[in-house]
Structure formats: structure tokens, C-alpha cells
């Protein structure tokens, strides 16, 4: 079974721009979560989507948003990029809301110049 | 979710067993112990989890003490590819707990040739 895939793997943007990242979960998995990883803050939870609905949200500004499609694929959008948004963005999927084991994708490395 | 304490770093010789400890003295009865690892700049990889019984899979063994206040992840024959940051996470598996995984600092395991 294929793992979690994320596209693109690398991205360079400039301040003020916006970016959209994509995540395809493991086949059959209905929950998709997003995390941000930076050297200073470590891994931080952004939000989780299940059945096209945001179920949980971390402590990030409204510039960070996401959505999930009927096929469980998810996108994450960051508007008005800041230098501090440079990070590894990770997507994780799990089978259901009760299943706790999450499987992570390889991540998208975003650099904001 | 209960707080965990792990050593900052550990070294292990290639081919030997790597024993990574984790203290979770405030764990409650319905909290599971999860282990993930992250190889540099890749997404975290699920290793194993358990509630109170020892668990083994193709990657590792998890030994949980009888009082459940600590656990040890064992990699039986460490290889250079096992060099990574290992995270011990304690959490409840229920629908309302959400997908948020709280990653601490983890243990940097370095396997030496």
C-alpha cells in the first residue's frame, strides 16, 4: 500500500506570497493532519481534517488554513508568507478518529525569502 | 496527555542492541505509549505502541514497566540507518482526543560503525 505523499517536496517563495501544499493520505485513511516543524519550535500541530471537516486546530494564525476533499486528499494554504513560515510542513494520515497510529509523509520544505 | 522525559542523546555501536528509555511517571490507565522516530529532514516514522504488555514488531520491542511509569524501546541489532531522533509520546486513544501528537525533544540516537 502506498504511503502518504506530499507535493511539492521543495518550494521557494517570497514574503507576501501565498502557497498551497498538497497531501494524499494512505488509501482508506480518512483523517489528515498537518504539522509544522522548525528548528526553534520543533513539531507543532496545525490542524486535522476528517470527512472534509476541520476537527482540531492548533495555535496558528488565520493565515494558515486547510481543506479536505471527498477523496480525503487535503490541501494546506498559507497566505501572506512571512520569513518565519520557513519550515518543513508534514502531513499525517490515520484510519479513523479513534485509530491513534499516524503515518507521516516526507514533508514539503518551504523556504520564504 | 502525560509528559515524557527522554535523554537528549545516546550512542550505540552498530550491531548491538540500542535501548532507549522514556519516563512517563504521570501516565494514566488509559494512555498508550507510542514511539516514533525521525531521520534527518524526513517525516516521523511510526515504530511501535503499547498499553501495558510488552510489544514486539519487525522494527523493535517495547518494554513497559509493571507500574507503567517508564518504558524502553529496544532496537535489537542497530544499524547506521537507525541513526535518528526517537520520540516517546503518551496519549489517550479516544475520538475526542484528536490527532494532535505532542513531540518533545526526543533522543538523538547515533549508531557508530
How many other C-beta atoms lie within 10 A of the C-beta of residue A110?
Answer: 20
* Contact yes or no for B34 and A43 at CB 8 A: no
Could you give the 3-state DSSP secondary structure of residue A83? helix
How many other C-beta atoms lie within 10 A of the C-beta of residue B48?
Answer: 19
Would you tell me which residues 51-90 of chain B have a C-beta closer than 8 angstroms to some C-beta of chain A?
A: none
pLDDT in tens, A17-63: 999 999 999 999 999 999 999 988 888 999 999 999 998 899 999 99
| pLDDT value at residue B95 | 56
Identify the closest residue of chain A to B35 by CA–CA distance. Answer: A101
- What's the CA gap between A33 and A1, in Å, rounded? 19
In this prediction, residue B94 has a pLDDT band, given cuts at 50, 70 and 90, of low
Could you give the 3-state DSSP secondary structure of residue A85? helix
* Contact yes or no for A58 and B45 at CB 8 A: no
Identify the closest residue of chain B to A102 by CA–CA distance. Answer: B46
Mean pLDDT across A103-113: 96
According to the 3-state scheme, what is the secondary structure of chain B?
Answer: CCCCECCCEEEEECCCCEEEEEECCCCCCCEEEEEEEECCCCCCEEEEEECCCCEECCCCEEEECCCCCEEEEEECCCCHHHCEEEEEEEEECCHHHCCCCCCCCCEEEEEEC
* Contact yes or no for B100 and A105 at CB 8 A: no
| pLDDT value at residue A39 | 87
pLDDT in tens, B52-85: 889 999 999 999 999 999 999 999 999 999 999 9
Closest-CA distance, B42 to chain A, in angstroms, reads 5
Q: Assess whether pLDDT exceeds 80 at residue B92.
A: no
pLDDT in tens, B24-55: 998 888 888 999 999 988 999 999 999 988 99
Chain A residues in contact with B49 by the CB 8 A cut-off are 100-101
Question: Which one of A45, A90, A102 has the shortest CB-CB distance to B46?
Answer: A102
Q: Assess whether pLDDT exceeds 60 at residue A14.
A: yes
| pLDDT value at residue B28 | 85
Amino acid at each position: 500500500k502506498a504511503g502518504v505523499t506530499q507535493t511539492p517536496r521543495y518550494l521557494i517563495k517570497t514574503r507576501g506570497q501565498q502557497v498551497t501544499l498538497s497531501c494524499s493520505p494512505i488509501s482508506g485513511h480518512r483523517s489528515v493532519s498537518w504539522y509544522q516543524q522548525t528548528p526553534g519550535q520543533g513539531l507543532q500541530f496545525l490542524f486535522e481534517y476528517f470527512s472534509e471537516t476541520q476537527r482540531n486546530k492548533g495555535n496558528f494564525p488565520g493565515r494558515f488554513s486547510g481543506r479536505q476533499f471527498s477523496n480525503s486528499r487535503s490541501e494546506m494554504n498559507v497566505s501572506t508568507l512571512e520569513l518565519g513560515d520557513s519550515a518543513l510542513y508534514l502531513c499525517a494520515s490515520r484510519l479513523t478518529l479513534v485509530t491513534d497510529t499516524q503515518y507521516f509523509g516526507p514533508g514539503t520544505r518551504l523556504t520564504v525569502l | 496527555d502525560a509528559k515524557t522525559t527522554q535523554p537528549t542523546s545516546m550512542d550505540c555501536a552498530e550491531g548491538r542492541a540500542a535501548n532507549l528509555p522514556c519516563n512517563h511517571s504521570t501516565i494514566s490507565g488509559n494512555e498508550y505509549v507510542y514511539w516514533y522516530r525521525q531521520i534527518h529532514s524526513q517525516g516521523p516514522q511510526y515504530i511501535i505502541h503499547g498499553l501495558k504488555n510488552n510489544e514486539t514488531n519487525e522494527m523493535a520491542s517495547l518494554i513497559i514497566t509493571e507500574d507503567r511509569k517508564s518504558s524502553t524501546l529496544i532496537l535489537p541489532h542497530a544499524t547506521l540507518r537507525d541513526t535518528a531522533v526517537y520520540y516517546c509520546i503518551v496519549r489517550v486513544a479516544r475520538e475526542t482526543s484528536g490527532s494532535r501528537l505532542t513531540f518533545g525533544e526526543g533522543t538523538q540516537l547515533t549508531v557508530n560503525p
